[in-house]
Structure 1
Amino acid sequence: MSTQGEPGEPGEPDLRHHGDAELRDAGASLTDLAVNVRAGTPPPWLRSRIAASLEGLAAYPDGRAARRAVAARHGLPEECVLLTSGAAEAFVLLARALPAAEAAVVHPQFTEPEAALRAAGRTVRRVLLSERDGFRLTPSPRQAGFATADLVVVGNPTNPTSVLHPAGALASLARAGRTLVVDEAFMDAVPDERESLAARVAGGLPGRLVVLRSLTKTWGLAGLRIGYALSDPETIAALARHQPLWPVSSPALAAAEACCEPAALAEAEQAAKEGAADRAYLLDQLSRRTALRAAGQPEAPFVLVRHPRAAWLRARMRERGFALRRGDTFPGLGPEWLRLAVRDRETTDRLVQALSAAGAGS
């Protein structure tokens, strides 16, 4: 684990680059392995619930029912829930609302937390996890990079490394006077949501704990923008004061309520199990039939792979109809990294065949 200070050096990663850029202007011509939204979503029943909400568009949004649903889903008081316009809005709220003399952002990870902190004028220190350790967090809260931070941000499971950090390792970062932010945007894609800290936001850890969730990934709602923050009532109230009026639309609220119902949770759990099996198949096929190897121990619906000519390979794969996510825009990674979304086995078979044809065979 190492640290990195202010950006601005040559080759500094573009923190505002995201996987959707790989699909722009491509229409339906590319098989999307660049964006981590589950394929074939939203399901028909969810589309119907969202469509039904359009009848009430003349009224201002009322988030009370959705807030109650999210609270019940996590076994928390309503005062511990804040609905947001996607998890990305929560990063902006955190950067603006909470005091932080020095923030430590664990990388490689989703870049919006750091971008939001810097835009708010916060001092940010990067804590870089090592490939040698499988990009896993070591559970030492006073290790270099964390010792003076009064705000720490870490993803779990982490995008793009697909690492699922032990809950105990994350909890060890909590301390009095510090805000620990855990981005669990992909946690519902992990069977049993093991290693989640959501249940501990109401107490039990020193300092302040904020857990962020997204409904975008599992349910295919990137265009609707719906997520939420879980924390203690005081923190939730502080974040809410920085939201505009009616920050979440009525269709998004309807989706949040629907996705917290027992049948939806059961469907998400089944999808997580199927996704784990599809990921295992992808890893096996990459190992058997290509020169690509995944970093660490992937646990999320995407894998991080290395190739010495990744930019060249990504361009060749576009020619063959596949969009892959470049990895060099994530701090701590270089130009030899690519992220691949996990898809069904038929898509994986086509991917591996195309990789071999492109020159990435074993």
Structure 2
Amino acid sequence: MTSPDLRHHGDVDAAPGLADFAVNVRVPHPPAWLRERLAAALGDLGRYPSKQAEERARAAVARRHGRSPDEVLLLNGAAEGFALLPKLAPRRAAIVHPGFTEPEVAFRDAGIPVDHVLLDGDFTLSGTAVDADLTVIGNPTNPTSVLHPSAALKTLPGKLVVDEAFMDAVPGEPESLAHDPDVLVLRSLTKTWGLAGLRAGYFLGDPETLQRLAHGRPHWPVGSLTLEAITACCEPEALEASHRFALEATEHAAYALEQLQDLVVVPPKAPFVLIRVPRGTREALRDKGIAARRCDTFPGLDDTYLRVAIRPPEEFAVFVDALRVVMEELA
């Protein structure tokens, strides 16, 4: 078995002209109220990002999670957060898979040994005997859409890094560890708010750890529009709208897929769902104009799995209808 392509992401599968169910950005563009906020900030692009705007964004994140501003590190997207992790210089890192592969790439590029904690079955975390002084896990996990109990996360070895990029799409955010001072939590805003082209995220952690991660970053690492987006998306009104949409769309998608025979569906808790299908399904869907995320690039999965982005019901019906036809043809 060949090694998976750890740098493969869903945007590669979503070629122009295809209905995109491969990229797990929940909406195709920012909502109108957020576009207006960003448009109002365009007049400031002639100036460097101000310290006041940075402090305002950090304060908004801190209020949102009940933390202090010195426990917040603003990022140019969550991907930057993964790239900073090798600064913690672990002797050995562990990555829970199937999971997002960028942290493994960052550690391997830095020469840090990486062990896999491979989950199977329902992909829920259980005990592990891995010897590591830093462990990374996603919650909810990409691509399985499983939400792990926070108590189980706390049993993982070493410094715990939890990728909560999709937690703000889970109503009530149960099992979040964003409040825990002993855990390093990574958040993304691009997935929920249609900001993949802008890049916006943050770390939550103890001040000493965040200072180590921030050391050596260039001046103005986060741009003015990103600072405005972070501030806006952490306001209570934004979160309420996000949770309401997420619950309705996820429940509808799970029900629609359950109506298909011979389809294995991992119950989704995030705005995407993992399904197991006959080999050749992804290619057949592509021939019908539908893009789904291949999963053989995730350690622990093979080409019988697809990750499918959850869209509003009327859009997701297009995928379900195409999948029904393809499975009948392959059978």
TM-score, normalized by the shorter chain, greater than 0.5: yes
Identity of aligned residues (%): 53
Determine the structure 2 residue equivalent to 1:161. 144
Q: d(CA) in 2 for partners of 1:193 and 1:360?
A: 38
Determine the structure 2 residue equivalent to 1:302. 272
1:108 alignment partner, one of 75, 88, 98: 98
Q: Which runs of 5 or more structure 2 residues have no equivalent in the other structure?
A: none
Is residue 254–residue 268 contact of structure 2 (8 Å, CA) maintained in 1? no
Determine the structure 1 residue equivalent to 2:253. 282
Determine the structure 2 residue equivalent to 1:99. 89
Aligned partner of residue 269 in structure 2, secondary structure: coil
1:43 alignment partner, one of 6, 31, 49: 31
Worse overlay, 102-111 or 262-271:
262-271
Is residue 171–residue 246 contact of structure 2 (8 Å, CA) maintained in 1? yes
Determine the structure 2 residue equivalent to 1:15. 6
Worse overlay, 210-219 or 45-54:
45-54
Q: d(CA) in 2 for partners of 1:88 and 1:322?
A: 27
Determine the structure 2 residue equivalent to 1:264. 238
2:175 alignment partner, one of 179, 183, 195: 195
How far apart are residue 98 of structure 1 and its match? 0.3
How far apart are residue 360 of structure 1 and its match? 4.3
How far apart are residue 291 of structure 1 and its match? 2.9
Q: Which runs of 5 or more structure 1 residues have no equivalent in the other structure?
A: 1-9, 202-207
How far apart are residue 68 of structure 1 and its match? 1.1
Determine the structure 2 residue equivalent to 1:338. 306
1:231 alignment partner, one of 205, 208, 226: 205
Q: d(CA) in 1 for partners of 2:251 and 2:177?
A: 25
1:242 alignment partner, one of 202, 216, 219: 216
Is residue 291–residue 360 contact of structure 1 (8 Å, CA) maintained in 2? no
2:324 is equivalent to residue 356 of structure 1: yes
2:45 is equivalent to residue 60 of structure 1: no
1:324 alignment partner, one of 255, 276, 292: 292
Q: d(CA) in 1 for partners of 2:240 and 2:274?
A: 28
Aligned partner of residue 291 in structure 2, secondary structure: strand
Where do 4+ consecutive residues of structure 1 move more than 6 Å? none
**Code of the aligned partner of 2:253:** L
How far apart are residue 209 of structure 1 and its match? 1.7
How far apart are residue 233 of structure 1 and its match? 0.6
Report the count of equivalent residues: 327
2:129 alignment partner, one of 131, 136, 144: 144
Q: d(CA) in 1 for partners of 2:137 and 2:306?
A: 21
Determine the structure 1 residue equivalent to 2:109. 119
How far apart are residue 326 of structure 1 and its match? 0.3
How far apart are residue 172 of structure 1 and its match? 2.1
Determine the structure 2 residue equivalent to 1:171. 154
How far apart are residue 316 of structure 1 and its match? 1.5
Q: 1:284 to 1:267 in 2, by over 3 A?
A: closer
How far apart are residue 305 of structure 1 and its match? 0.9
TM-score scaled by length of structure 2: 0.95
Q: Deviations over 1:116-158 (max 9, x none)?
A: 1111111100110112xx10101x3xx322xx20000000000
Determine the structure 2 residue equivalent to 1:7. none
**Code of the aligned partner of 1:20:** D
